[in-house]
């Protein structure tokens, strides 16, 4: 139960992604978002004008870059944040330092934790944020559009011939994702077959030998920045790798697929189109 939940007469109560009920007397007017994804989701929910604090790499929408930064998601400048007097803090379940957020709660600031792990969770996060911010009409419209668009993409691509796919989420150490990860679900929506989907860890560490053994038809990387494709060139040293032989080395801007926000619609569309390119090449062999 959040420290903000002091009774049952509050008009705005939602359950966060830690299964805690968070209640506010009134719609939040001063919101602090402690991850880039939380910033995007809060703006998507129609509450951008109420955001008074963000963390580094909160670069979308562009106006978020003009908001005061209170450090990074892993090290929050508590003094600056407290001085900004937010009436709602949006935390990241596994990304923010627990002790720092507990300190904020001890100071009487309600903390709403989010960490969407599937398509439904993204839409729900937008709806719940809108409820806390008093922007329900905008939030509901955005959430409904997100659900409808993702469902339409799944209907269009999911049942196409499967493309074995390796998604590289990091380079050193080499890391991928399993089927439970949101990106794994996007691969499934696009009719891809995640070659590391069955591993137990959501973000497993692997090595080149594991990729060579899996021999995916397509390799997809996000890189370290929106224009950085150098992760893909690493695989060109293995000309017998199916993805290399077929020139199915694809780049998807990471902010479009690695953040659980409405821009996932755009990232999913790009990924689906890339896997379709791989399918079309089969007939040319």
pLDDT at 68 over 70: yes
Work out the average pLDDT over 115-119.
94
Summarised one tens digit per residue, pLDDT across range 44-64 is 999 999 999 999 999 999 999
Instruction: Assess whether 85 and 166 both reside in one domain.
Output: no
Instruction: Assess whether 140 and 166 both reside in one domain.
Output: no
**Six-digit token string for 276:** 């379709």
Task: Please choose, from the candidates 56, 73, 78, 74, the residue with its C-alpha nearest in 3D space to the C-alpha of residue 65.
Answer: 56
Question: Is the Cβ–Cβ distance between 143 and 126 less than 8 Å?
Answer: yes
Instruction: Assess whether 31 and 122 both reside in one domain.
Output: yes
Query: Which residue range is the domain that position 259 belongs to?
Result: 158-282
Kindly give the interhelix angle for 182-189 and 136-157, rounded to the nearest 10 degrees.
50
Instruction: Assess whether 137 and 178 both reside in one domain.
Output: no
The per-residue pLDDT for 145 is 98
In which residue are the tokens 């129609």 written?
A: 46
Is residue 149 included in any domain, yes or no?
no
pLDDT at 2 over 70: no
**Six-digit token string for 277:** 């390119």
Instruction: Assess whether 180 and 278 both reside in one domain.
Output: yes
Domain count, the chain: 2
Provide, for the chain, the percentages of residues in helix, strand and coil under a 3-state DSSP scheme, each rounded to the nearest 5: 40, 15, 40
Is residue 73 included in any domain, yes or no?
yes
Instruction: Assess whether 175 and 276 both reside in one domain.
Output: yes
pLDDT band, residue 9 (cuts 50/70/90)? very low
Summarised one tens digit per residue, pLDDT across range 143-177 is 999 999 999 999 999 999 999 999 999 988 999 99
pLDDT at 284 over 80: no
CB half-sphere exposure, 24, CA atoms < 13 A: 23
Read off the CATH number of the domain in which 52 is found: 3.40.50.1980
Instruction: Assess whether 180 and 123 both reside in one domain.
Output: no
Is residue 215 included in any domain, yes or no?
yes
Which strands form 163-168's sheet, in the order they lie side by side?
A: 192-194, 163-168, 218-221, 249-251
Instruction: Assess whether 167 and 140 both reside in one domain.
Output: no
Is residue 45 included in any domain, yes or no?
yes
> Which of 96, 120, 144 is the last residue before a domain boundary?
144
> Which of 121, 144, 167 is the last residue before a domain boundary?
144
């Amino acid at each position: 139960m959040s420290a903000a939940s002091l009774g049952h007469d509050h008009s705005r109560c939602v359950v966060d992604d830690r299964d805690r009920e968070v209640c506010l007397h009134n719609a939040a007017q001063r919101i602090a978002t402690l991850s880039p994804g939380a910033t995007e989701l809060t703006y998507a929910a129609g509450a951008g004008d109420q955001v008074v604090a963000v963390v580094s790499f909160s670069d979308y929408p562009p106006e978020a870059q003009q908001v005061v930064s209170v450090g990074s998601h892993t090290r929050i400048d508590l003094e600056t944040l407290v001085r900004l007097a937010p009436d709602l803090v949006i935390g990241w379940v596994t990304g923010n330092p627990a002790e720092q957020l507990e300190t904020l709660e001890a100071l009487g600031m309600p903390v709403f934790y989010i960490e969407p792990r599937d398509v439904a969770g993204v839409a729900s996060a937008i709806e719940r944020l809108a409820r806390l911010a008093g922007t329900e009409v905008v939030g509901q419209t955005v959430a409904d559009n997100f659900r409808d668009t993702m469902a339409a993409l799944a209907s269009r691509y999911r049942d196409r011939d499967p493309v074995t796919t390796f998604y590289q989420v990091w380079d050193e150490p080499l890391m991928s994702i399993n089927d439970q990860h949101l990106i794994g679900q996007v691969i499934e929506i696009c009719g891809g077959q995640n070659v590391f989907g069955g591993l137990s860890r959501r973000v497993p560490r692997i090595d080149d030998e594991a990729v060579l053994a899996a021999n995916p038809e397509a390799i997809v990387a996000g890189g370290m920045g929106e224009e950085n494709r150098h992760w893909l060139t690493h695989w060109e040293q293995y000309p017998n790798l199916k993805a290399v032989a077929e020139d199915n080395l694809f780049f998807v801007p990471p902010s479009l697929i690695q953040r659980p926000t409405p821009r996932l619609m755009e990232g999913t569309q790009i990924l689906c189109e890339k896997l379709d390119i791989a399918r079309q090449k089969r007939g040319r062999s």
